[in-house]
Chains A and B, each alone.
Chain A
Amino acid sequence: MNFQLTKEQEFVRKMVRSFAETECEPIAADIDKEHRFPVETVEKMARYGMLGIPFPKEYGGAGGDHISYAITVEELSRICASTGVICSAHTSLCCWPIFNYGTEEQKQKYLPDLLSGKKLGAFGLTEPGAGTDASGQQTKAVEDGDFYVLNGSKVFITNGGYADVFVVMAMTDKSQGTRGITAFIVEKGDEGFSIGKTEDKLGICASSTTELIFENCRIPKDRMLGGIGKGFKVAMSTLDGGRIGIASQALGIAQGAFDVTVDYMKARKQFGRSLSKFQALQFEMAEMKTRIEAARLLIYEAADRKDKHLPYSVNAAMAKLFAAETAMYVTTKCVQFHGGYGYTKDYPVERMMRDAKITEIYEGTSEVQKMVIAGSVFGK
């Protein structure tokens, strides 16, 4: 067992921290307020290889590992959780299923542009009536010669308004239940495919969350991903990896709120001394730091298992459950420690608290994580 980061992982942290503090920090509050997707930051992330970290160089990736990827999402989210999820959804939910389930032709066609960040990726599973119960897919794909014709809609799709490539689930045979679901690669501009409503959210306001609409959208058969009826497996295994990304986002939010609160507590004086001198508050900070570190270890272990091709779904579920709850716990306390200032937009902790909430919901709610974890204890 080795708890030391490698030299490369240390440098990834150094690089992304410096990137986030220089590129993301000055605009984080503004893009949140304006609900503006930070196109310029995404371009820079692409230039520095941050959108293709855990993939081999032969497809245009950086040749890195999943712990480095987790560190990247964590460090971005420490400053701006919206930027963190752009990276996470692109990498885990679009690049990974194509890399893992794609044919060689599909990989050659899509990965170089995705991993270099020339194109952005998204993932479409959730529907108005199929959230936690993802098996209730209503979007249909009907065979027609060399094509499948898609009809239906997807909701809450991260990166929706700015993505070029989408991995989308649709029902090809309803009688087969989850074995009747198939994954397809949909491209922006495909006839019959359009972007619907953009959600107005509580947090991660600078990320793009939209509806996807399919009206007789004809997708060539060679864009089926992972084989007919394999869509549920593609989706579930993709979400296992996605949870490492979202857990890292939650961890970054918690760490970011913690760090600014430490600084605030040293500077803020009440009753003639700094907040940092009050033992009751110190103990609360000790509790927070312990939870943050515990979340970090769960995440890095899940990522390490993924790199070593060991089973990691339960680890990823525990990491996401614990990191998301830690993010809510820490940010709520951090707002409290800032007092009235913490409730204003002059300090970043209120944004962090709003951003934290989604990590308990998307890519599997905390309740879904508990189902996965309990399933490993008692059997499904």
Chain B
Amino acid sequence: MKIIVCAKQVPDTNEIRINPETGTLIRDGVPSILNPDDANALEEALKLKDQYPDTHVTVVTMGPPQAQEMLFECLAMGADEGILLSDRAVGGSDTWATSNAISATIEKIGDYDLIFGGRQAIDGDTAQVGPQIAEKLGLPQVTYVMEFKIDENKKDITVKRQLEDGYEEIKIQTPCMLTCIKELNTPRYMSMAGIFNQDKKITVWNAADIQVDLTTVGLKASPTNVYRSFTPRPKGKGSMVAGDTEAEIATNLIVSLKKKHII
């Protein structure tokens, strides 16, 4: 089986601070990590590889050259191959432009049975890229996958899709795209043998390599405009309106609202 995992290198939001004057993220010195949901996507692929050793797992990402670090980590966890799409022409892409670039990359890889991605990245939280890739590749998709089972024929898949108040059980066939959530599994650590594996295969492609239409990628091709980003003001502490009877509580509430000239 050939599996593609879509992953993103993101700033570790546990370490992030906001510049109070500009309201933007201070990225200097913030370590980059493998996006957590993408680690779940990779883990599911690696579990399949544990079960069927002839499985080939390719991790695909788009980003600056430093994203090779993240691919190194994925390979040290057990992936077979990493492909980084890195080109100024795709820089500044929004989700639409990103999914154009990634789906062109996947088309260039060509041969695959299954694509796993994380539900969303912790830096943008859009959850759009996975579904858009599936649409552009003309693949059936299931998002929010919390449980995954594949038949021995390696074709019929049953997944549980998490909803706010329950789950859906969905049957789907390869080839397809699944986006994963943290409930799906616990990602493994890198292994020592993986870290010291000398045959790690990381390939860097540019826009010309994937023959993508340059009018569909990059900042200029992105329909999303960030109007403003800001940190919501922290709300003050709430206060309880007390009183012995309902009428008294209501009166106290009215009094306090009037004091603040709200009513």
Contacts and interface: CB of A to CB of B under 8 A. Distances in A.
Interface in B187-216: 188-198
- Max chain A Cβ within 10 angstroms of own Cβ: one of B72, B73, B190: B190
B73 A11 contact: yes
A142 B196 CA distance: 44
A50 B189 CA distance: 11
6 contacts: A7-B69, A7-B72, A11-B73, A18-B189, A49-B194, A50-B192
Given A8-B196, A12-B195, A64-B196, A19 B189 contact: yes
B76 interface: yes
Interface secondary structure of A, over-half rule: helix
Interface residues of A, number: 19
Nearest to B33: A14
A11 B189 CA distance: 11
B193 A15 contact: no
A193 B172 CA distance: 60
A73 to B, nearest CB: 13
- Max chain B Cβ within 10 angstroms of own Cβ: one of A7, A15, A52: A15
A48 interface: yes
A63 B73 contact: no
B193 A11 contact: no
Contacts of A47: 191
Contacts of A19: 189
Nearest to A22: B189
Interface of A: 7-8, 11-12, 14-15, 18-19, 47-50, 52-53, 57, 62-64, 68
Contacts of B76: 11, 15
B193 A63 contact: yes
Contacts of B195: 8, 11-12, 15, 62, 64, 68
B189 A62 contact: no
Interface of B: 69, 72-73, 76, 188-198
Contacts of B194: 49
A277 to B, nearest CB: 20
A62 B72 contact: no
Given A12-B195, A48-B189, A62-B191, 7 more contacts: A8-B196, A48-B188, A49-B193, A63-B196, A63-B197, A68-B195, A68-B196
Nearest to B31: A14
A53 B193 CA distance: 8
A57 B194 CA distance: 11
B55 to A, nearest CB: 19
Nearest to A64: B196
B192 A48 contact: yes
A57 B192 CA distance: 11
Nearest to B68: A7
Contact of A15 (B69, B190, B198): B190
Contacts of B189: 15, 18-19, 48
Given A7-B72, A11-B72, A15-B76, A62 B196 contact: yes
A258 B86 CA distance: 40
Contacts of A53: 192
B79 to A, nearest CB: 14
B54 to A, nearest CB: 21
Contacts of B197: 63
Contact of A49 (B69, B191, B198): B191
A18 B76 CA distance: 14
B195 to A, nearest CB: 5
A57 B195 CA distance: 12
A63 B198 CA distance: 9
Contacts of A18: 189
Nearest to A12: B195
4 nearest A-B residue pairs (beta carbon) = A49-B192, A62-B192, A15-B190, A63-B196
B190 A57 contact: no
Contacts of A50: 192
A67 to B, nearest CB: 12
Contacts of B196: 8, 62-64, 68
Contacts of A64: 192, 195-196
Contacts of B69: 7
B14 to A, nearest CB: 12
- Max chain A Cβ within 10 angstroms of own Cβ: one of B73, B194, B195: B195
A19 B196 CA distance: 17
A52 B191 CA distance: 11
A47 B194 CA distance: 12
B73 A57 contact: no
Nearest to A62: B192
A48 B78 CA distance: 11
A14 B76 CA distance: 12
A52 B193 CA distance: 9
Contacts of A14: 73, 190
Nearest to A47: B191
A48 B191 contact: yes
A47 B191 CA distance: 8
Contacts of B73: 11, 14
A57 B72 contact: no
Contacts of A7: 69, 72
A324 B198 CA distance: 35
Contacts of B191: 15, 47-49, 62
A92 to B, nearest CB: 16
Contacts of B192: 12, 15, 48-50, 52-53, 62, 64, 68
